[in-house]
Amino acid sequence: MLLTLSTTHTPATDLGYLLHKNPERPQSFELPFGLAHVFYPEASASRTTAALLLEVDPVALVRGRPSSGGGQGGPLEQYVNDRPYVASSFMSVALSRVFGTALSGRSKDRPELAEQPIPLSARLSVLPCRGGEVFLRRLFEPLGYTVTATRHALDETVPAWGDSRYFTVTLEGQVRLGDLLSHLYVLIPVLDDDKHYWVGDEEVEKLLRHGEGWLATHPEREQIARRYLRHRHSLAREALERLAGDEAPEPEERQEARNAEEAVLESRLSLNEQRLQTVMTALQEHGAARVVDLGCGEGKLIKALLRDRRFTEIVGMDVSHRTLEIANDRLGIERMPDLQRQRVKLLHGSLLYRDQRLAGFDAATVIEVIEHLDMPRLAAFERVLFEYTRPGLILLTTPNAEYNVRFTSLPAGTFRHRDHRFEWTRAEFEAWAASMCERYGYTVSFRPVGENDAEVGAPTQMAVFTR
C-alpha cells in the first residue's frame, strides 16, 4: 500500500525536516502487522516527494488469534482479503508510528515551518470508499482540499462486473503538514468503515486529539464519529458531545433535575405554553414556512409546528444526543406517515460553530437558550445566528430578570435555573438586541410573554428580529 506526500514549497527538501526522515536514506520500520518503508522518489529544491510503502503480512495479522470456527469460509477470509493492498486503519497506525512527530505538528529543525500552511499533495494508490466518490468529497472538500478520484474496475478483464469501491485519490491544498496527516489518520478508516483492532475508550481520545481544530465544525462529524468508532453508539455519542467543548450538556440526571426546578417555579404561570404560543403566532404572522429551532430540547415547539401545515420544513438542533433521542421518541418520527416525516429533521450540532445545514431558513427560533451561554460563547453564537445562519426572521426569548421578585420561592439575587449564566433586565436585553441590529443589519421589536406586570414587566421577554 503506497502513500506519497509531495510539496513545491521552496526549498521543497524541507519536507525531510518536517517528516524527520532524511531524503538521502531509505528507512524501514517493523510494525505488528508487517513493515513500513520510507523513501523519496524525488528530492529537489523545487519539488520533493516522500513515499510511505506499507507491507502488510496476512499471516502476521492472524498470528496468535484463536480460530474463528465461525461461518463458511471464515478462517480462509483471515488470510485472503484486501488488507495488504488498500489504505485502511493499518495505514493510520503506520502514520502514527513512522511520522508521529509530524502528526503532532512539531518539527525540531523547522518549528516555524511546521506551523505554516504550505502547498502539499497526498496520493493514496488504493483507497476503499464505502459511500463512493460523493462521500469521499464530502469528507475532504470541506477541509479545503482539491480532490481527484479515479475509480478502479472490479476486474478490468471482465467489464461487465462494473466498478469496485476502490479509488486512487489525490488531495491537494495549502495546509500544515500536521493537519494533512491528522485528516488522513482519521478519515482513511472512516472511508474504509472498518478497523483491524478493538475499539474502546482510547479511540475516543484519539479521535478528539487528532480531530482538534477541525472535526467539531465538519458537516459530516456525526458520520465520521460513528464510522471511526466502528458504529459503537455509546462511544460515538460521547465523542460528539465532547466535541461541543464547553457547550457539552450536563449528565442527564442532573440536567433533568434542574429543568424540573425551573418548571415548578414557572408552572403556575403556564409560561412554557405561553412562550410556545407567542412564538407560533409570530411565525404565522410573518408567513414563515421553513423553520429551524436552535436548542430545540425535547421538541415541544417542533411538535406544535407539525400540527400546522403552513410549516413545510421543520428542523431542530441540539448539542445533546440524549435530548434528541427523547425528542425523536416523543415526536414519534419513525411512526409518522412519509409525508409528515419528510417535514421534520433533528440535527446534532453545536450552536457555537458555523454549520451549512442551518443556512437558508425563513425563520430561526431561540427559546430560553442564550442565558445558558457565558459571554465568550454568547459572542460565538451571535455570529452563528446573525452572520452565518442569517434567516429573515429570528424569534429569541429569555427571562426578564426584573420579574424574579414575583417568584416568592426564589431567593433574592439568584437565577431561575442554576445553569443560567445571566438573566437580563428589559433595558439590558434591548441594548443587546440593538447592538445585534447595528452589527448585522436587522431591525427589532419586543413582545412580552406572560402577564405584563405594571412595575416589573412580563416574566419572559421576546425579541423579533427581521432582516
The domains located in the chain, with CATH, are 2-64+74-197 (3.30.1610.20), 270-466 (3.40.50.150)
CB 129 within 8 A of CB 191: yes
Q: Give me the mean pLDDT over the 231-256 stretch.
A: 68
Instruction: Quote the pLDDT of residue 156.
Output: 87
Could you tell me the pLDDT band of residue 77, with boundaries at 50, 70 and 90? low
Instruction: Quote the pLDDT of residue 75.
Output: 59
Beta strands 290-294 and 363-367 are parallel
pLDDT above 70 for 66: no
What value, to the nearest 5°, has the Cα angle with vertex 314 and ends 308 and 316? 130
**Least reliable range by pLDDT among 148-162, 246-260, 382-396:** 246-260
CB 146 within 8 A of CB 173: yes
User: What element of type H or E holds 378?
Assistant: helix 375-382
Among the listed residues 316, 377, 365, the one whose alpha carbon sits nearest the alpha carbon of residue 465: 365
**Least reliable range by pLDDT among 264-278, 388-402, 422-436, 439-453:** 264-278
pLDDT above 90 for 229: yes
Could you tell me the pLDDT band of residue 261, with boundaries at 50, 70 and 90? low
Could you tell me the pLDDT band of residue 352, with boundaries at 50, 70 and 90? confident
- Residue 202, number of CB atoms within 10 A of its CB: 9
What value, to the nearest 5°, has the Cα angle with vertex 320 and ends 319 and 323? 130
Percent of the chain at pLDDT > 70 equals: 90
Instruction: Quote the pLDDT of residue 65.
Output: 54
Could you tell me the pLDDT band of residue 73, with boundaries at 50, 70 and 90? very low
Tell me the sheet residues that pair with 128: 166
Among the listed residues 403, 395, 393, 396, the one whose alpha carbon sits nearest the alpha carbon of residue 450: 403
Q: What is the pLDDT of residues 310-331, one digit of tens each?
A: 999 999 999 888 889 899 999 9
Alpha-helical runs (H) found in 215-337: 221-228, 233-243, 252-266, 271-285, 300-306, 321-331
- Distances in Å between the Cα of 25 and the Cα atoms of 22, 28, 45, 87 are 6, 10, 17, 24
Could you tell me the pLDDT band of residue 441, with boundaries at 50, 70 and 90? very high
Kindly state the cell numbers that stand for 192: 474504509
pLDDT above 80 for 63: no
Q: What is the pLDDT of residues 287-315, one digit of tens each?
A: 999 999 999 999 999 999 999 999 999 99
Could you tell me the pLDDT band of residue 238, with boundaries at 50, 70 and 90? confident
Instruction: Quote the pLDDT of residue 153.
Output: 92
